[in-house]
Amino acid sequence: MNDCLFCKIGNGEIPSYTIYEDEVCKAFLDIEPLTNGHILVIPKKHYINVIDADLDFVTHAFSIIKEDLYPLLQKKLNCQGLTICQNNKYGQEVKHLHFHLIPRYTDDEFKSHTNKDLLIDTKDLFEKITEK
């Protein structure tokens, strides 16, 4: 895609603080991090979201996250955990598949907020999802 920000980062038209790169994907520091070491992992091929992505890419990306990036964050930044996030359509600012790797620290105060008033009772929700 000619005007896609992440395609331009992926092919080197726009510079990034690249942490990992191969022929399939690129991982770089988020310029608006939620915690220290917040990384984005993108495919070099344009996919809008995980629903239209090639399963081979998803498998490759999670292999890199598991074997390369998370251990690197633990070793270099001493993070205690990792939150992996990926938005599809709603909440997706850049319409190019990307995984957020958010290192977690004991006192980072990173929280996911939900309007609890909108939640359906668990039993009712289960029935709704499983009804035929």
Of the chain, the end-to-end C-alpha distance in Å amounts to: 41
Question: If you classify domain 5-130 with CATH, what class do you get?
Answer: alpha beta
Return d(Cα 33, Cα 66) in angstroms, integer: 20
Entry pTM: 0.88
Q: What is the pLDDT of residue 1?
A: 57
Q: Is 98 one of the catalytic residues?
A: yes
Q: What is the pLDDT of residue 93?
A: 86
Residue 39 in this model has a pLDDT that exceeds 70:
yes
Return d(Cα 120, Cα 91) in angstroms, integer: 21
Catalytic choice (38, 60, 98, 113): 98
What pLDDT digit, counting tens, does each position of 40-73 carry? 999 999 999 999 999 999 999 999 999 999 999 9
Where is pLDDT greater, at 73 or 120? 73
Q: Are 17 and 49 in contact (CB under 8 A)?
A: no
Written as one letter, the residue type at 108 is: D
Q: Residue 13 corresponds to which tokens in the numbers above?
A: 């038209």
What pLDDT digit, counting tens, does each position of 74-114 carry? 999 999 999 999 988 787 789 999 999 999 999 888 776 66
Supply the DSSP symbol for 120.
Answer: P
Edge to edge, what strands does the sheet with 18-21 contain? 18-21, 25-29, 39-43, 99-104, 81-85
Helix (H) or strand (E) holding 9: helix 5-10
